[in-house]
Amino acid sequence: MSSSHSQSINSAEVIQTGSGIKADRLKSRGLQDRFILMKTDDTDDTYDTTRQKLAGFEFYARLGQKLEVQEHEQTIIYDVTVTNGGLTYNNKTGIFTCATSGVYVFSWSALVTADHYVETILRSSKSDLGLTYSGGKGYPGSGSQTVVVNLHQGDNVQVKVGSFTPGSILYDIYTTFSGFRLQ
Protein backbone atom coordinates (compact mmCIF):
# COMPACT_ATOMS: atom_id res chain seq x y z
CA MET A 1 0.00 0.00 0.00
CA SER A 2 1.46 3.37 -0.96
CA SER A 3 1.94 6.19 1.53
CA SER A 4 -1.12 8.02 0.16
CA HIS A 5 -3.25 4.98 1.05
CA SER A 6 -2.11 4.93 4.65
CA GLN A 7 -2.55 8.65 5.30
CA SER A 8 -4.51 9.44 8.45
CA ILE A 9 -8.16 10.37 8.08
CA ASN A 10 -7.60 13.15 10.59
CA SER A 11 -5.05 14.99 8.48
CA ALA A 12 -6.64 15.39 5.07
CA GLU A 13 -9.62 17.00 3.34
CA VAL A 14 -12.76 15.22 2.09
CA ILE A 15 -13.46 15.37 -1.64
CA GLN A 16 -16.39 13.30 -2.90
CA THR A 17 -15.57 11.55 -6.21
CA GLY A 18 -18.59 9.61 -7.43
CA SER A 19 -18.69 6.37 -5.48
CA GLY A 20 -15.54 7.07 -3.51
CA ILE A 21 -13.26 9.50 -1.74
CA LYS A 22 -9.66 10.31 -2.58
CA ALA A 23 -7.64 8.92 0.33
CA ASP A 24 -5.16 11.78 0.30
CA ARG A 25 -7.99 14.30 0.72
CA LEU A 26 -9.92 12.86 3.66
CA LYS A 27 -10.70 15.21 6.51
CA SER A 28 -11.68 14.48 10.08
CA ARG A 29 -15.39 14.85 10.71
CA GLY A 30 -14.99 15.06 14.50
CA LEU A 31 -15.19 12.41 17.16
CA GLN A 32 -18.82 11.61 16.34
CA ASP A 33 -18.06 10.33 12.82
CA ARG A 34 -16.24 7.17 11.84
CA PHE A 35 -15.27 6.20 8.29
CA ILE A 36 -14.98 2.66 7.04
CA LEU A 37 -12.74 2.63 3.97
CA MET A 38 -12.81 -0.06 1.28
CA LYS A 39 -10.39 0.00 -1.64
CA THR A 40 -12.26 0.14 -4.95
CA ASP A 41 -9.41 -0.19 -7.42
CA ASP A 42 -5.69 -0.90 -7.26
CA THR A 43 -4.95 1.64 -9.99
CA ASP A 44 -5.68 4.75 -7.94
CA ASP A 45 -6.25 5.89 -4.40
CA THR A 46 -10.07 5.99 -4.47
CA TYR A 47 -11.93 4.36 -1.60
CA ASP A 48 -15.63 3.68 -1.03
CA THR A 49 -16.74 5.02 2.31
CA THR A 50 -19.48 4.28 4.74
CA ARG A 51 -20.03 6.96 7.32
CA GLN A 52 -21.18 5.51 10.59
CA LYS A 53 -22.60 7.78 13.26
CA LEU A 54 -21.39 6.77 16.70
CA ALA A 55 -24.15 6.47 19.26
CA GLY A 56 -22.68 8.89 21.79
CA PHE A 57 -22.42 6.41 24.66
CA GLU A 58 -19.28 7.81 26.23
CA PHE A 59 -18.63 9.13 29.73
CA TYR A 60 -15.83 10.38 31.94
CA ALA A 61 -16.25 11.01 35.66
CA ARG A 62 -14.03 11.55 38.70
CA LEU A 63 -14.28 12.03 42.43
CA GLY A 64 -15.19 15.57 43.46
CA GLN A 65 -13.49 15.23 46.84
CA LYS A 66 -11.37 12.72 48.74
CA LEU A 67 -13.22 9.52 49.58
CA GLU A 68 -12.57 7.40 52.67
CA VAL A 69 -12.88 3.72 51.86
CA GLN A 70 -15.22 2.23 54.44
CA GLU A 71 -16.14 -1.28 53.40
CA HIS A 72 -15.54 -4.21 51.08
CA GLU A 73 -17.95 -4.05 48.09
CA GLN A 74 -18.41 -0.28 48.53
CA THR A 75 -19.45 1.29 45.23
CA ILE A 76 -17.17 4.15 44.26
CA ILE A 77 -19.41 7.02 43.19
CA TYR A 78 -17.61 9.32 40.78
CA ASP A 79 -19.72 12.39 41.43
CA VAL A 80 -18.15 14.89 39.00
CA THR A 81 -19.28 14.07 35.48
CA VAL A 82 -17.07 15.66 32.83
CA THR A 83 -18.62 13.93 29.78
CA ASN A 84 -21.83 11.90 29.64
CA GLY A 85 -22.99 11.29 26.07
CA GLY A 86 -26.31 9.48 26.02
CA LEU A 87 -26.69 10.07 29.79
CA THR A 88 -25.56 6.50 30.43
CA TYR A 89 -23.54 7.20 33.61
CA ASN A 90 -25.36 8.08 36.86
CA ASN A 91 -23.19 10.22 39.15
CA LYS A 92 -25.55 9.61 42.09
CA THR A 93 -25.19 5.81 42.03
CA GLY A 94 -21.83 5.35 40.25
CA ILE A 95 -23.46 3.02 37.71
CA PHE A 96 -23.11 3.00 33.92
CA THR A 97 -26.16 1.46 32.21
CA CYS A 98 -25.68 -0.01 28.75
CA ALA A 99 -28.24 1.57 26.40
CA THR A 100 -27.23 -0.40 23.29
CA SER A 101 -25.59 -3.82 23.05
CA GLY A 102 -22.04 -3.79 21.71
CA VAL A 103 -18.34 -3.74 22.50
CA TYR A 104 -17.34 -1.22 25.18
CA VAL A 105 -14.03 0.06 26.53
CA PHE A 106 -13.76 1.01 30.22
CA SER A 107 -10.85 2.55 32.12
CA TRP A 108 -10.58 3.39 35.78
CA SER A 109 -7.85 4.63 38.08
CA ALA A 110 -7.34 5.26 41.77
CA LEU A 111 -4.75 7.06 43.88
CA VAL A 112 -4.64 6.03 47.55
CA THR A 113 -2.93 7.63 50.55
CA ALA A 114 0.62 6.62 51.47
CA ASP A 115 1.13 3.32 53.30
CA HIS A 116 -2.33 2.06 52.34
CA TYR A 117 -3.75 -0.03 49.51
CA VAL A 118 -7.09 -0.47 47.78
CA GLU A 119 -8.14 -3.03 45.21
CA THR A 120 -10.85 -1.85 42.83
CA ILE A 121 -13.05 -4.16 40.80
CA LEU A 122 -14.88 -3.32 37.58
CA ARG A 123 -18.12 -5.27 37.87
CA SER A 124 -20.99 -5.79 35.47
CA SER A 125 -24.40 -7.08 36.45
CA LYS A 126 -23.13 -10.52 35.44
CA SER A 127 -19.46 -10.79 36.45
CA ASP A 128 -16.21 -9.13 37.47
CA LEU A 129 -14.55 -7.60 34.41
CA GLY A 130 -11.24 -6.41 35.83
CA LEU A 131 -9.21 -5.72 38.96
CA THR A 132 -6.59 -3.16 39.87
CA TYR A 133 -4.34 -2.55 42.87
CA SER A 134 -3.40 0.90 44.16
CA GLY A 135 -0.90 1.33 46.99
CA GLY A 136 2.56 2.40 47.99
CA LYS A 137 4.88 2.28 50.97
CA GLY A 138 5.92 5.75 52.07
CA TYR A 139 4.11 7.49 49.21
CA PRO A 140 0.64 7.56 47.62
CA GLY A 141 0.12 4.69 45.21
CA SER A 142 -1.90 4.57 42.03
CA GLY A 143 -3.32 1.85 39.85
CA SER A 144 -5.29 1.81 36.63
CA GLN A 145 -6.81 -0.67 34.24
CA THR A 146 -8.52 -0.76 30.84
CA VAL A 147 -10.82 -3.53 29.62
CA VAL A 148 -12.71 -4.25 26.41
CA VAL A 149 -15.97 -6.14 26.96
CA ASN A 150 -19.19 -7.18 25.25
CA LEU A 151 -22.29 -5.77 26.93
CA HIS A 152 -25.99 -6.21 26.37
CA GLN A 153 -28.66 -3.55 26.63
CA GLY A 154 -29.55 -3.06 30.30
CA ASP A 155 -26.24 -4.36 31.71
CA ASN A 156 -24.86 -2.25 34.56
CA VAL A 157 -21.16 -1.54 35.11
CA GLN A 158 -19.61 0.01 38.22
CA VAL A 159 -16.38 0.14 40.20
CA LYS A 160 -16.39 -1.57 43.61
CA VAL A 161 -13.87 -1.76 46.43
CA GLY A 162 -12.18 -5.13 46.91
CA SER A 163 -9.73 -5.56 49.77
CA PHE A 164 -8.18 -2.48 51.41
CA THR A 165 -6.33 -1.28 54.49
CA PRO A 166 -8.40 0.64 57.06
CA GLY A 167 -7.92 4.40 56.78
CA SER A 168 -7.44 4.31 53.01
CA ILE A 169 -8.44 7.52 51.29
CA LEU A 170 -8.87 7.88 47.52
CA TYR A 171 -7.69 11.21 46.12
CA ASP A 172 -10.28 13.14 44.16
CA ILE A 173 -9.01 14.26 40.77
CA TYR A 174 -6.77 11.18 40.39
CA THR A 175 -9.59 8.67 40.89
CA THR A 176 -11.49 8.37 37.61
CA PHE A 177 -13.88 6.17 35.64
CA SER A 178 -14.57 6.37 31.91
CA GLY A 179 -16.04 4.32 29.11
CA PHE A 180 -17.29 4.39 25.55
CA ARG A 181 -18.94 2.18 22.96
CA LEU A 182 -16.38 0.87 20.49
CA GLN A 183 -18.87 -0.80 18.14
| Within a domain: 1 | no
Q: What is the CATH number of the domain that holds 145?
A: 2.60.120.40
Q: Which amino acid is at 180?
A: F
CA Rg, the chain, in Å? 21
In this prediction, residue 126 carries a pLDDT of: 82
Asked if residue 22 is part of any domain, the answer here is: no
- Residue 116 included in any domain: yes
Domain count, the chain: 1
Evaluate whether residue 67 is within a structural domain: yes
What does each of the 183 residues of the chain score in pLDDT, given as a tens digit? 444 333 333 333 333 333 344 333 333 333 333 333 333 444 444 444 433 344 568 999 999 999 999 999 999 999 999 999 888 999 999 999 999 999 999 999 999 999 999 999 999 988 999 999 999 999 999 999 999 999 999 999 999 999 999 999 999 999 999 999 987
Q: Domain for residue 13, yes or no?
A: no
- Positive or negative torsion for Cα 33, 108, 104, 61: negative
Q: Is residue 37 part of a domain?
A: no
Q: What is the span of the domain harbouring residue 144?
A: 61-181
In a domain? residue 129: yes
pLDDT score for 164: 96
| Structural domain includes residue 26 | no
Q: Dmax over Cα atoms in the chain, in whole Å?
A: 67
pTM of the model: 0.70
